[in-house]
A and B are shown apart, each in its own frame.
Chain A
Amino acid sequence: MIPQRPSRNWPLIIVTASFLLAMTWWSGNGIGFSVVEFLCNISGGGRLLAESWPPDFSYLPRLADPFMETLNIAIIGTVIGGILSVPVAVLAARNLTLGRVIWFTDRNFMNVLRTLPDLFWAMLFATAVGFGPVAGALALSVFTIAVISKLWSESLESIDMGLPEAVRAVGGTWLEMLKFGAIPQAMQHYVSYALYAFELNVRASMVLGLVGAGGIGMILETQRANFEYERVAMIVLVVLVAVLIIEEISEAIRKQLA
């Protein structure tokens, strides 16, 4: 007795497939995608790589200050964003929030924050407070709120509600309920998301300078404009090594916590 094979939903398959094909055709046309062009220009890529090699190691000492500035921006962004994301996440968690209207407003606020990429925030803050690292730090703060609060509000929604209800039942206030009943249960997730946000922020802070928001990206932009590709390569190398090291450290800490 072989069970009958479930029949396929042909209309759905056809509609999906034609949508995917149409999207791809429209996009490929729109951006001028062409394998031929890519293959023809690949020699140019070889020349570029040759120009980038070897990286200009004598340039390394001058990268120290901008590099530290980049880390400073990432740290400030993660701390400010990490603190502010606590209330945003709590009020966006259905089981902990203070009422439907607040929940709805906060949730939409969170989703709108999430729509704009890090460099858009950097451009906006650079316009508001002037070019420099302060704009970058503010941009990453907002970006961090968007990252942590979305993820953490989902962790908060999946906690065991017995403990918070017990705190309420013995007369605890809403804040006491959060402090003793809800947040300790999701604390590990919070730390892990904060580390993840820090990783993203280090990566983002490396390029903030492209729009004038401080850090190592500022000199990257200057060297790129002057076609100093050996120096660009040095900067890229530093960024790459830094990102990989930070990722390793943060993964090690996360494993310790788990």
Chain B
Amino acid sequence: MSGSAIQNQNRIGGATWATFIIAALFLWSMWAIGFSPERLGKLPAQMAEVLGFFYPADMAYGWDKVLPSIAESIQIAWIGTIIGAVFSLPLALLGARSLFPKFARVVKLISATTRAFPEILLAIYFVPIVGLGAFAGALAIGISSIGMLTKLGSEVVDSIDFGPVEAVEAAGGSRVMALRFAVLPQVLPEIIAHWLFRFELNIRASAVLGVVGAGGVGGVLLNTLRYRHFDKAAAVLVLTIGIVLVIDMVSGEIRRRIIRG
């Protein structure tokens, strides 16, 4: 009884320290970038003013110019997801510690490095290679998808029931047969759910790639804002929010059904 009380006190001490350190870091950061209380006070008025400019949205521009660029973002995200899925599936199997202890370290290193790159930095490198446009974006999204899907996939494989694997091998099956008949059937539903989730993330990622000239709706938003065409920027926002909401809903529903089986 007394033991747990002491432990409890220590915990509170730790939390207080953490809060104190975070508060200090926060105040230092606010000071360092010049985010003063006056600036914070002016914020609501500024936001209200800009929001006023955004209304009404220029929907004619939206249907003509924005919709095709959103379609392009979706295409980039789709191809990126396919690249990620195709390459990450074998890597995820190789990266599972319980199946291939020797390869797992190497695979983990590869996936950690590709994940550390923000997509947009990869795009900066792909744009000079394959030229301005959506293809560069798709490659960037694809590479960064490989990293994350490999990591999540390996975790799924490591968490399976190994009974069937042993059964296949005990009956004289090879490693490949064990993968095909014991591992894949167990992991595929969850891995496909991760693919869909990654597709949802990739739509957001591909939407910003236009900023560095890699296609999609991001470039349109940047230009409309740069030239202060707020009514057109509003059309970009309205359509992006609407379409992404619908895709999220559909994809989320499919994911739930796949997981439930």
Contact = CB atoms under 8 A, between A and B. Distances in A.
Interface of A: 23-24, 26-28, 30-34, 37-38, 41-42, 44-45, 48, 68-69, 71-73, 75-76, 79, 111-112, 114-120, 123-124, 126-129, 132-134, 137-138, 203-204, 206-207, 210-211, 214, 220, 224, 232, 236, 239-240, 243-244, 247
Contacts of B125: 45, 48
A236 B121 contact: yes
B170 interface: no
A256 B222 CA distance: 42
B60 to A, nearest CB: 22
Interface in B194-240: 204-205, 207-208, 211-212, 215, 218, 221-222, 225, 237, 240
B79 interface: yes
Contacts of B118: 203-204, 206-207, 239
B137 to A, nearest CB: 7
B38 to A, nearest CB: 12
Interface residues of B, number: 60
Interface in B73-121: 74-76, 78-79, 82, 112-113, 116-118, 120-121
Interface in B116-147: 116-118, 120-121, 124-125, 128-131, 133-135, 137-139
Interface stretch (B160-168, B172-180, B181-189, B241-249): B241-249
A120 B245 contact: no
A120 B208 contact: yes
B208 A119 contact: yes
Given A117-B207, A232-B124, A23 B78 contact: yes
Contact of B35 (A24, A119, A120, A134): A134
Contact of A247 (B116, B130, B241, B248): B116
Contacts, number: 158
Contacts of B71: 30
A37 B125 CA distance: 16
A126 B233 CA distance: 14
A128 B30 contact: no
Contact of B130 (A41, A76, A127): A41
Contacts of B139: 38
Contact of B33 (A33, A69, A127): A69
Given A33-B79, A119-B208, A224-B124, A137 B133 contact: no
Given A34-B135, A76-B26, A206-B118, A28 B33 contact: no
Interface in B19-50: 22, 25-26, 28-30, 32-35, 39, 43, 46-47, 49-50
21 contacts: A24-B78, A30-B72, A38-B139, A48-B125, A115-B244, A116-B237, A117-B204, A118-B208, A120-B221, A123-B222, A129-B39, A129-B43, A133-B34, A134-B39, A137-B33, A137-B35, A206-B118, A207-B118, A207-B120, A232-B124, A243-B116
